[in-house]
Amino acid sequence: MNLDPQTIERLAAHLDAAETERREVHKITDDYPDMDWEDAYAIQDALRALKEARGVRVAGLKMGLTSHAKMRQMGVVDPVYGFITDYGAVADGGEIDTRRLIHPKVEAEIAFVTRRPLKGPGCHIGSVLAATDFILPAVEIIDSRYENFRFDLKSVIADNTSSARYVLGGTHRNAEGIDLKNLGVVMEKNGEVVAMASGAAVLGHPAQSVAMLANMLGARGREIPAGTLILTGGVTEAVAVAAGDNVTVRYQHLGSVSMRFV
């Protein structure tokens, strides 16, 4: 690690304030070009601790940048992980207040809920499917705290991978009975189709994203606990939204998820 504990705490507070005050900031590697991957995740951990200390509950974990479409869109090559919060949850069909966000974008995702812990290294699709309680459709609303979504991977990890809001659909299914690779997803904005993909867009299979998360956490001596909700990453590129937009995502076998931006 190259950053001292005080700098890590200060950068976490800086990113937390940017989120709560809805204020864009420049990417933190501009000022700390030597920060390494451990520093980046240490800032994310400090951000999580800061939020939990004021009563925020962590509602689950997320993987980001797991599709080639997203990686291409953001000019990066590796997935990242972060956490989702209780205050980020929006009911299916609900309203999302854009005045609380900077420059939101929506991503269609497939979510998993585990019934057994998963720990890397060596976690694979088979172990994930065996440990999965159910899958459900999800839409993540990301909102980077960085100006114009311009960042590098370390800055985005520190900023909790742009986590902001998420909407879960009501249809829960057993993953074993579903061909997740070929599960079709269609995203509509204001009645127009804006993106289409299948589950294979996420690292070849959405369960691979959970396996990678377990392996990434395992490298840090952590695991995915039983009962964890995991957003596996956008199957399509992220689509920008603004007040007045209506978004519906239709999932083969899993129903649809919708929301309105006000």
Nearest in space to 3 (alpha carbons), one of 46, 45, 44, 32? 32
Interface mask (CB under 5 A) for Mg ion, residues 59-98, using x and -?
-----x----------------------------------
Q: For the CB of residue 114, give the shortest distance to ligand 0L1 in the complex, in Å.
A: 19
Among 114, 162, 208, 228, binds ligand 0L1 (CB under 6 A): 162
Instruction: Return the number of the residue (32 or 88) whose C-beta is nearest Mg ion.
Output: 88
CB 102 within 8 A of CB 143: yes
Report the site for ligand 0L1 in 36-75 (rule: CB under 6 A).
62, 64-65, 70, 74
- Nearest partner of 183 among 244, 137, 252, 125, judged by Cα: 252
**Contact of residue 70 among Mg ion, ligand 0L1, none (CB under 5-8 Å per partner type):** ligand 0L1
| C-alpha pair distances (Å), 96 with each of 50, 85, 260 | 24, 15, 6
- Is residue 139 part of the contact set for ligand 0L1 (CB under 6 A)? no
Residues 217-256 that bind ligand 0L1 (CB under 6 A): 233-234, 238
The residue among 11 and 156 lying less far from ligand 0L1, judged by its C-beta, is 156
Per CB under 5 A, the list member of 19, 107, 143, 237 interacting with Mg ion is 107
End-to-end CA distance of the chain: 42
The 3-state secondary structure of 120-138 reads CCCCCHHHHHHHEEEEEEE
CA-to-CA separations, 169 to 5, 76, 140, in angstroms, rounded: 40, 29, 11
Position 145 contacts ligand 0L1 (CB under 6 A): no
Contact region with Mg ion (CB under 5 A), list: 8-16, 47-55, 135-143, 181-189: 135-143
Instruction: Output the six-digit token pair for 154.
Output: 């370390």
Report d(CA 104, CA 8) in Å as an integer. Answer: 26
Site of interaction with ligand 0L1 (CB under 6 A) = 62, 64-65, 70, 74, 107, 140, 142, 144, 149, 156, 161-162, 233-234, 238
